[in-house]
């Protein structure tokens, strides 16, 4: 992932419309043959921008996603739960790093991406703007939010852009533990006291709809879907993935003895699918626009962490600089008189 330091051989000026059209056609043909596109290959500017937008948004989501769960690290009910939660949160930070690294191969600097996030100009998954009110929310997040993320991410392992696909393979290998620890946490709660069962049910009530919204707007209203599918940046539409998630998750809720908070949810026997009631998209839009319960808090926490770490970054840079410029004294001088 070496774009930043390399010449931009891929970005040669198009020579006239005819040649440009031919290049586009060759590019699409490569995609259609399931060839991977690598950093130095020629690619349409729109493809590059679409990838930067999606990978950056994804990276920011991993980084901001550490905050709701980080909220419970000091209050985890046992040492076992605490080491698990720390490991999970650290993984999410790592996922952010893999993804920034992939985005950088497209010629954007990491500093610029982080700057956009801190300035409030970048998007990240709206799910992380909800608060974690009880310990059961940690279970619900692992089970539902990581579950939805896995559903979204598995097809991305076959994305047409090599560095993104490879980052996703790495991420998907790690996500499975996130989901399982969450479900195990929920299982422990529903097998506990009546109060613990209530806590689990309330967490499901809070996280169910936001989890469904994680797949993005319905296909009819999704602006980027068609082009992303053509370029194989995405492999399935938002609604297809959402349906898959509902189909696998409802039986898991039933096993827990919990009720999915959707009175219209029913089993469609001929189609072999669960049918969910309509999603309240006005809530999604409001959270996306910055009016979710924790939008301001999340950004403030990121900014504070960034500022608080500034002296460390500066000290490390100064130390490295000192050692780079410190040269051994010439032998002649060393000999003295």
Partner 1 sequence: MTEDWLLYEVFIRSRSGLEHKHVGSVHAADARMAIEHARDTYTRRLEGVSIWVVRSSEIVASDPEEAEALFEPARDKIYRHPTFYAIPEEVKNL
Smallest gap from residue 92 Cβ to Fe ion (A):
5
Nearer to partner 1 by Cβ, of 87 and 266: the residue is 87
270 token code pair: 């001929």
- CA 236 – CA 298 distance, rounded (Å): 30
- CA 72 – CA 216 distance, rounded (Å): 27
69 binding Fe ion? (CB under 5 A): no
SS3 122: coil
178 binding Fe ion? (CB under 5 A): yes
Smallest gap from residue 149 Cβ to Fe ion (A):
6
92 binding Fe ion? (CB under 5 A): yes
232 binding Fe ion? (CB under 5 A): no
Smallest gap from residue 297 Cβ to partner 1 (A):
23
Residues 147-176 contacting Fe ion, CB under 5 A: 175
- CA 36 – CA 248 distance, rounded (Å): 30
- CA 7 – CA 311 distance, rounded (Å): 32
Nearer to partner 1 by Cβ, of 38 and 247: the residue is 38
- CA 146 – CA 175 distance, rounded (Å): 7
Nearer to Fe ion by Cβ, of 60 and 95: the residue is 95
Give residue for tokens 């049910």: 201
Q: Give the binding range for Fe ion (CB under 5 A) out of 91-99, 209-217, 281-289, 296-304.
A: 91-99
137 binding Fe ion? (CB under 5 A): no
Q: What are the residues facing 274 on neighbouring strands?
A: 267
58 binding Fe ion? (CB under 5 A): no
Smallest gap from residue 135 Cβ to partner 1 (A):
25
Q: Which position among 58, 95, 206, 302 is part of the footprint of Fe ion (CB under 5 A)?
A: 95
List residues binding partner 1 (CB under 8 A). Answer: 1-2, 4-6, 9-10, 38, 40-42, 87, 90-91, 94, 97-98, 101-102, 104, 109-112, 115, 166-167, 170, 174, 310, 313, 316-317, 319-320, 323-324
Nearer to Fe ion by Cβ, of 137 and 175: the residue is 175
Instruction: Answer left, alpha or beta for residue 149, where phi above 0 means left and psi between -120 and 50 means alpha.
Output: alpha
Of 84, 75, 77, the closest CA to residue 189 belongs to 77
Nearer to partner 1 by Cβ, of 2 and 329: the residue is 2
- CA 137 – CA 210 distance, rounded (Å): 13
Smallest gap from residue 145 Cβ to Fe ion (A):
8
Smallest gap from residue 185 Cβ to Fe ion (A):
14
Helices (H), 191-223: 194-213
| Cβ contact 117:124 at 8 Å | yes
- CA 253 – CA 248 distance, rounded (Å): 9
Total of residues contacting Fe ion (CB under 5 A): 6
Q: Which does 248 bind (CB under 5 to 8 A by kind): partner 1, Fe ion, none?
A: none
H/E stretch holding 273: strand 273-275
Nearer to Fe ion by Cβ, of 149 and 233: the residue is 149
């Amino acid at each position: 992932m070496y774009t930043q330091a390399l010449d931009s051989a891929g970005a040669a000026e198009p020579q006239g419309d005819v040649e440009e059209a031919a290049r586009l056609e060759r590019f699409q043909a490569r995609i259609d043959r399931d060839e991977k596109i690598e950093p130095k290959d020629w690619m349409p500017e729109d493809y590059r921008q679409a990838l930067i937008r999606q990978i950056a948004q994804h990276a920011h989501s991993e980084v901001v996603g550490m905050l709701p769960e980080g909220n419970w690290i000091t209050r985890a009910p046992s040492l076992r739960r605490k080491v698990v939660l720390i490991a999970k949160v650290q993984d999410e930070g790592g996922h952010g790093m893999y993804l920034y690294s992939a985005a950088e191969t497209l010629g954007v600097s990491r500093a610029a991406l982080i700057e956009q996030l801190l300035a409030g100009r970048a998007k990240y998954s709206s799910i992380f703007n909800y608060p974690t009110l009880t310990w059961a929310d940690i279970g619900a997040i692992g089970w539902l939010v990581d579950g939805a993320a896995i559903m979204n991410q598995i097809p991305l392992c076959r994305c047409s852009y090599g560095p993104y696909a490879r980052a996703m393979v790495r991420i998907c290998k790690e996500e499975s533990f996130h989901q399982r620890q969450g479900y195990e946490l929920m299982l422990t709660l529903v097998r506990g006291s009546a109060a613990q069962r209530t806590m689990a049910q309330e967490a499901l009530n809070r996280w169910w709809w936001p989890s469904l919204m994680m797949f993005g707007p319905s296909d009819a209203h999704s602006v980027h879907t068609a082009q992303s599918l053509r370029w194989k940046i995405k492999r399935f539409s938002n609604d297809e993935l959402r349906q898959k998630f509902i189909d696998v998750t409802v039986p898991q809720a039933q096993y827990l003895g919990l009720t999915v908070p959707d009175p219209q949810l029913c089993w469609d026997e001929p189609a072999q699918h669960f049918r969910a009631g309509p999603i309240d998209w006005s809530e999604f839009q409001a959270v996306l626009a910055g009016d979710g319960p924790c939008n301001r808090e999340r950004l403030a926490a990121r900014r504070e962490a960034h500022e608080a770490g500034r002296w460390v970054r500066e000290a490390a840079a100064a130390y490295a600089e000192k050692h780079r410029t410190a040269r051994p004294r010439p032998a002649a001088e060393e000999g003295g008189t």
